[in-house]
Structure 1
């Protein structure tokens, strides 16, 4: 039996075709998948003076859990445009000086997250998207304290005793 290792690459590399004319996948198998990847931004909004960061709380999170602002990138939208739009829609804050920090793949649900940071310029007071129940400014020390006090368990999926005083809990990844 001859094993054909050479493949033809098609569809921008998303599909490989065996060159063996008797290859089962070429003649009988048609269950090709083209997994979609959804681009997402997450942004740390920093105050003009650099002393505070703006974090938001989703409606169904525990009362003291906050995270960076995030959202999907729309078709034909740049990272910078998506950061500015999401910040404005979810918090009413106009941001500028958007910078890319890093990226992280999320196989489930097929996302690629682009982490950015931006500087807050102005608060319009108008929130378009009611996805967040609250958003607040936190000092660097408050964020560092929340990281130090974390037990490594995600507050979204753990049984958290909300009677224990806490100013800020951060989601774990």
Structure 2
């Protein structure tokens, strides 16, 4: 029990730190000077007894756990970008939803050390194929975890909530099948 409380306290400290860092960029966000990115919550449904799992990757710069995401690509729609990033960063392909599932904000660390606020548009992507060879293999860690574990690992509070909401949505849809 003590370890569970310890994990929760640590997660709360990380969330508070993140929120205070983001708050220092509130004026930029409120003036609409934020960059846009597209991302995918990549998941696979479990068997009848098992719950669905979600795919997390580490960022190349900091090694923190994130979902596959990237910058807009000229000539590509947001859902297409999310699918491209999922393959390039994690080696997965599947059916991606065209409609956004949600949005979250974070501070992107730039190569020059600066940070810029980003608003990330999320899509759900049900994985049907995984590949051993993909463009960013070896540059990131890739892990399938429960949605609860994923919410504990990611830093961004909005993304934590969206991961848990995605699990509820997927579980509800599974019950209808």
For residue 38 of structure 2, what is the aligned residue in structure 1?
Answer: 41
- Partner SS state of residue 120, structure 1: strand
TM-score (ref. length: structure 1): 0.54
CA distances 1:41-76 after superposition (whole Å, capped 9, x unpaired): 1221111336100000123435xx411111112011
Q: Does the alignment pair 1:84 with 2:83?
A: yes
1:73 match: 72
Aligned equivalents of 1:84 and 1:40: distance in 2? 13
Distance apart, 1:130 and its partner CA: 5.1
Correspondence 1:172 to 2:169: no
Higher relative CO (Cα under 8 Å, sequence separation at least 6) belongs to 2
Between Structure 1 and Structure 2, the one with more strand by share is: 1
Asked if residue 115 in structure 1 is aligned to residue 122 in structure 2, the reply is yes
Larger gyration radius, structure 1 or structure 2: 1
* Structure-2 separation of matches of 1:71 and 1:41: 6
Which structure features the higher share of helix residues?
Answer: 2
Equivalent residues, number: 114
Counterpart CA distance in 1 for 2:86 and 2:92 is 6
Query: What stretches of structure 2 of length at least 5 have no aligned partner?
Result: 1-31, 108-114, 158-177
Match of 1:56 in 2: 57
TM-score by length of 2: 0.53
Instruction: Give 1:111-150 correspondences, 5 Å limit.
Output: 111-129=118-136, 132-143=139-150, 146=152
**Alignment partner of 2:66: what SS?**
coil
Aligned pairs for 1:23-34 (under 5 A) are none
Structure 1 unaligned residues grouped into runs of 5+: 1-34, 147-168
Supply the RMSD in Å over aligned alpha carbons: 2.9
